[in-house]
Amino acid sequence: MSHIVTVQDAVTAFADWIEPTDAELDAIEEEMPLILADIDLLDAQITTLDRTPNELDARRIRRARHRVLAERVALANRTAAASLPGGAA
Protein backbone atom coordinates (compact mmCIF):
# COMPACT_ATOMS: atom_id res chain seq x y z
CA MET A 1 0.00 0.00 0.00
CA SER A 2 1.37 3.39 -0.98
CA HIS A 3 0.82 6.30 1.42
CA ILE A 4 -0.17 9.66 0.04
CA VAL A 5 1.80 12.53 1.60
CA THR A 6 1.20 16.20 1.01
CA VAL A 7 4.02 18.18 -0.50
CA GLN A 8 2.93 21.38 1.24
CA ASP A 9 4.47 20.31 4.57
CA ALA A 10 7.85 19.86 2.92
CA VAL A 11 7.58 23.21 1.13
CA THR A 12 6.34 25.31 4.05
CA ALA A 13 8.56 23.70 6.67
CA PHE A 14 11.39 26.00 5.63
CA ALA A 15 9.40 29.13 4.85
CA ASP A 16 10.75 32.44 6.16
CA TRP A 17 7.49 33.38 7.87
CA ILE A 18 7.72 30.42 10.29
CA GLU A 19 10.73 31.92 12.09
CA PRO A 20 10.00 34.31 14.98
CA THR A 21 10.24 37.97 14.17
CA ASP A 22 12.61 40.35 15.94
CA ALA A 23 9.70 41.78 17.91
CA GLU A 24 8.70 38.30 19.10
CA LEU A 25 12.27 37.52 20.12
CA ASP A 26 12.46 40.83 22.01
CA ALA A 27 9.22 39.99 23.83
CA ILE A 28 10.58 36.58 24.81
CA GLU A 29 13.80 38.19 26.03
CA GLU A 30 11.82 40.67 28.12
CA GLU A 31 9.74 37.86 29.66
CA MET A 32 12.74 35.57 30.28
CA PRO A 33 13.10 36.39 34.03
CA LEU A 34 9.46 35.42 34.56
CA ILE A 35 9.89 32.26 32.49
CA LEU A 36 12.92 31.24 34.57
CA ALA A 37 11.05 31.96 37.81
CA ASP A 38 8.17 29.77 36.61
CA ILE A 39 10.65 27.00 35.82
CA ASP A 40 12.12 27.23 39.32
CA LEU A 41 8.63 27.02 40.83
CA LEU A 42 7.77 23.98 38.73
CA ASP A 43 11.07 22.36 39.68
CA ALA A 44 10.35 22.91 43.37
CA GLN A 45 6.86 21.46 42.99
CA ILE A 46 8.04 18.47 40.97
CA THR A 47 10.58 17.48 43.62
CA THR A 48 7.77 17.09 46.15
CA LEU A 49 5.51 14.93 43.98
CA ASP A 50 6.85 11.58 45.18
CA ARG A 51 7.33 12.41 48.85
CA THR A 52 5.82 14.39 51.67
CA PRO A 53 7.20 17.93 51.55
CA ASN A 54 9.39 18.80 54.52
CA GLU A 55 10.06 22.29 55.88
CA LEU A 56 12.87 22.96 53.38
CA ASP A 57 10.65 21.93 50.46
CA ALA A 58 7.84 24.17 51.68
CA ARG A 59 10.28 27.06 52.07
CA ARG A 60 11.68 26.49 48.56
CA ILE A 61 8.18 26.47 47.05
CA ARG A 62 7.19 29.57 49.00
CA ARG A 63 10.32 31.45 47.83
CA ALA A 64 9.74 30.35 44.25
CA ARG A 65 6.13 31.59 44.39
CA HIS A 66 7.27 34.94 45.75
CA ARG A 67 9.87 35.21 43.00
CA VAL A 68 7.22 34.47 40.34
CA LEU A 69 4.94 37.14 41.77
CA ALA A 70 7.78 39.65 41.96
CA GLU A 71 8.74 38.97 38.34
CA ARG A 72 5.12 39.34 37.22
CA VAL A 73 4.92 42.71 38.96
CA ALA A 74 8.23 43.80 37.46
CA LEU A 75 7.13 42.73 33.97
CA ALA A 76 3.80 44.52 34.35
CA ASN A 77 5.58 47.68 35.48
CA ARG A 78 8.05 47.51 32.58
CA THR A 79 5.32 47.06 29.99
CA ALA A 80 3.14 49.76 31.56
CA ALA A 81 6.05 52.20 31.65
CA ALA A 82 6.88 51.45 28.02
CA SER A 83 3.31 52.09 26.89
CA LEU A 84 2.81 55.40 28.71
CA PRO A 85 3.63 58.56 26.77
CA GLY A 86 6.50 60.53 28.18
CA GLY A 87 7.79 57.55 30.17
CA ALA A 88 6.26 58.76 33.46
CA ALA A 89 4.05 56.54 35.53
- φ/ψ of residue 83, rounded to 5: -90, -15
DSSP class per residue in 46-64: HHTTTS---HHHHHHHHHH
Q: What is the pLDDT of residues 53-82, one digit of tens each?
A: 999 999 999 999 999 999 999 999 998 887
| Predicted model pTM | 0.70
Select the more confidently predicted residue: 9 or 41.
Answer: 41
CA distance 59 to 37: 15
Q: What is the pLDDT of residues 18-41, one digit of tens each?
A: 788 899 999 999 999 999 999 999
3-state helix, strand, coil in the chain (%, to 5): 75, 0, 25
- Of the candidates 71, 84, 19, 5, the one whose C-alpha atom is nearest the C-alpha of residue 40 is 71
